[in-house]
Amino acid sequence: MKGAIYFFCVVVLLFLVSCKTNNKETYKTLQGVVFGTEYNIQIDSHIDFSKQIDSVFKAVDRAANTYDKNSQISVLNRTGVYKDPSPTFVDMLKKAQYYYNQSNGYFNPAIYPLISEWKNGFENRAEIDTSKVVQLLKLTDFKNNISIEKNLIKTTETGVEIDLSALGEGYTIDAIASILNKSGVKNYMIELGGEMYAKGNNPRGKIWLIGIEKPSSTTSMSERAVINTVYLNDVGLSTSGSYRKFYSDSLGNKHSHIVDPKTGFPVSHHLLSASIKSKASTEADALATACMAMGLNKAKQFIEDKLAIEGFLIFSENDSLKVWSSNKFLQE
């Protein structure tokens, strides 16, 4: 689902093996492709959750797949109205508006038309129609330009379009985690498109250990490196960043392919990656995106002010990579 959005989410699972734990329980592994990305789920249970998990995938896909012209979000974007929306679509929209408000508009699904406008214009800004950007910016008030009711979703301005992919994977993970928790599963890991949620122990009997990838222009898995590791236990992790999609200015400084929802133009800061830990994967997903739009200083302050999240930021300074971490991000 994130193919239409403006960032990549990359984390590395370090101990992703199928083996037996100390209590001889065998982990089941579910793997596949959904939303145009890979998923890997490890569950310490004899119960087969494949049908329930597949139903979650289908519900989110029907609600929020911008590549499917018949999905609820595509119909809304095309016509400005959707009658009798699914509970999933309503819930995703309400959560999106909540995180829009929580982030002071830096998480904003309504900048979808701006993303499309800038898609090929980051390195060729002279080709961008500035007046069109200004006009499109007027359509990005996600709080007031979208009306969300139980039986009707509508846009209040012609031309408003939204994309929920910046929280879609996190939302899906939370839905799957809820199924597992209700069934009493104590140990599991859910990975979808680089978003993670883990609980309990991995197959080796240890707390799940995740590696955060170092930003690099390489696409070769063998050449990628881990810049730091983080433990996950009953917590989600989302990493938003332009790992292989950034450009350099005339001074050699690296900039992300990120559009500032406040101005409608590309950000000018040097933040390359934002990782957020939260009890809710939806929150981690949305707020990692918000931090990338904020830039380093605002993101630092935002993370420190939010008691429910921890953050890890990677940025470019004097043509080298540096990191910042909140106090408890790396703690077990």
SS3 sequence, the chain? CHHHCCCECCEEECCCCCCECCCCCECEEEEEEECCEEEEEEECCCCCCHHHHHHHHHHHHHHHCCCCCCCHHHHHHHHCEEECCCHHHHHHHHHHHHHHHHCCCCCCHHHHHHHHHHCCCCCCHHHCCHHHHHHHHCCCCCCCCEEECCCEEEECCCCCCCCCHHHHHHHHHHHHHHHHHHCCCCCEEEEECCEEEEECECCCCCEEEEEEECCCCCCCHHHCCEEEEEEECCEEEEEEECCCCEEECCCCCEEECCECCCCCCECCCCEEEEEEEECCHHHHHHHHHHHHHHCHHHHHHHHHHCCCEEEEEEEEECCEEEEEECCCCCCC
* Residue 163, marked binder: no
**Alpha-carbon span 228 to 218, nearest angstrom:** 18
CA distances from 129 to 123, 134, 140 (A): 14, 9, 17
* Residue 289, marked binder: yes
> Which residues contribute to the annotated binding site for Mg(2+)?
166, 285, 289
Question: Residue ranges for the binding site?
Answer: 166, 285, 289
